[in-house]
Amino acid sequence: MPTTKKTTTKKVTNSKTSEVNDLTNIIRKTNENIANAQSIFEKNLQIKDIIEEKIKDLEIKEKEHAQRVKQDHDKINKYKNDTIAMISDRKKDLEKKMAELKKFQIEIEKSKKALELEKEQIKKEREELDLEKIKYDTDQNELANSMLKFNELVSNFTVNIDQLKK
């Protein structure tokens, strides 16, 4: 029996050593896993920090972009409003000028009618003057004929008186 006790003790010792080795391996693997997990966790923290920094940069860029868009929109609205105001003013000026031109056109039409009436009046007066000239010429011819007749009569009268005196 003594050999069995030694063998059993050796077995127990081997068994304990094996268990210790197994436990050591498990602890070592656990420590490695913890180290790997800690490394992954640290990498994740670094990635998280990088992502958060990029998100902050993007938020800043987004705000800047929104400000630029608002400024551009404001500029466009100002230009649009200025342009509309300018066009409206120009339209009012043109409408005023058109009204003035219409008044001027009406005055021109009135003047044109007055000139046409005056032209007709002058034409009538000219026709009357032409008729008066014809009448004058006729009267002058009649007067000349009458003068000739009168001179002839005077001449005949003078001749007859001379003859009577003789």
60 found inside a domain? yes
Between the alpha carbon of residue 40 and those of residues 4, 27, 28, 43, 47, the distances in Å are 52, 19, 18, 5, 10
Question: Which residues in the chain belong to E strands, given as ranges?
Answer: none
136 found inside a domain? no
The pTM for the full model equals: 0.44
Q: Which range of residues forms the domain containing residue 65?
A: 8-125
- How many domains are contained in the chain? 1
pLDDT for 8 equals 59
Measured distance CA(111)–CA(142) in Å, rounded? 45
137 found inside a domain? no
153 found inside a domain? no
For the chain, the residue count is 166
99 found inside a domain? yes
26 found inside a domain? yes
**What is the mean pLDDT of each successive set of 10 residues along the chain, which is 166 residues long?**
56 71 89 94 95 96 96 96 97 97 96 95 94 92 89 84 76
Burial class (CB in 10 A: 0-12, 13-18, 19+), 7: exposed
37 found inside a domain? yes
1 found inside a domain? no
- C-alpha angle 135-131-117 in degrees, rounded to nearest 5: 155
